[in-house]
Amino acid sequence: MSTILFNKIIFGPVFSRRLGRSLGINLLPTAKKCCNFNCVYCECGWTRKEHIGKEEFPPANLVKEALEKRLKELIATGQEIDNITFAGNGEPTMHPEFIKIIDDTVSIRNKFMSNVKISVLTNATSLANSEILEALNKIDNCILKLDTGKESTFKIINQPVLDVTLNEIVNNIKKFKGKIIIQSLFVKGIINNTEIDNTTKEEINEWLKLINEIKPELVMIYPIARPTPSGSLMKVSKEELDKIAEKVIKLSIKAVVY
């Protein structure tokens, strides 16, 4: 199936199911996906392993200039936004100047639109880096991926291209001292002749154990909603997702189905 790549550093504003009117920042190359995961449902397509380590990232000063210019344009035309969101063509924390870019973004936001929140969508692999962890503690919403509570399912659904375990990911998340938001996507289908379904009773119980350990302020629950690189995936029904959310709420943790 066809997939989506963002061809600019700054894109939008777009309407986000979770973040309202969101101005996106893509810190990754515009012509290819750049990620240390290879999630089966990713709208950006498959991660090409031969591209890892050969990326050309937009320099921090160019990101700063582009963001400042776009915010001035929005102000001039009377457009309001709710969030500045780091997303785009892969994992934003892979950018070698990520820490400086976060500092620049906080400064620009405070200068031009102090009421706007800053959000980062991340798979939590880089939280082992204390400097990146510190940078993420400066923003409003750190949205962390956790799709399963089982190591075997993690390997199938998220397919990390670096040597990392689910246990390490969870330990990274626990290091975060800010407002923890967990984002979980539930999916069914066949990948490489292997059936995947992270909605089974066993799967949900293992996932709930981790959610209870992490104790996030919010769990965002999703089905697939955009084209995926594999055409064999099926969308999980809202009714099933609502039942999963109810189990989270019973842990005294807020959950929202998108």
pLDDT average, residue stretch 28-33: 84
**Which pLDDT score is estimated for 186?**
98
Reported as type and span, the H/E element at residue 195 is: strand 194-197
Domain boundaries, given as residue ranges, for the chain: 10-257
Q: What is the DSSP string of 66-119?
A: HHHHHHHHHHHTT---SEEEEESSB-GGGSTTHHHHHHHHHHHHHHH-TT-EEE
Of 4-13, 81-90, 249-258, least confident by mean pLDDT is 4-13
The 10s digit of each residue's pLDDT in 172-182 is 999 888 889 99
Could you give the CA distance from residue 50 to residue 53 in angstroms, rounded to a whole number?
8
Phi, psi of 26 (to 5 degrees): -105, 110
pLDDT average, residue stretch 72-99: 96
3 pLDDT band (50/70/90 cuts)? low
Query: What superfamily would CATH give domain 10-257?
Result: Aldolase class I (3.20.20.70)
Length of the chain: 258
110 pLDDT band (50/70/90 cuts)? very high
What percent of the chain is modeled with pLDDT above 70?
A: 96
**Which pLDDT score is estimated for 49?**
65
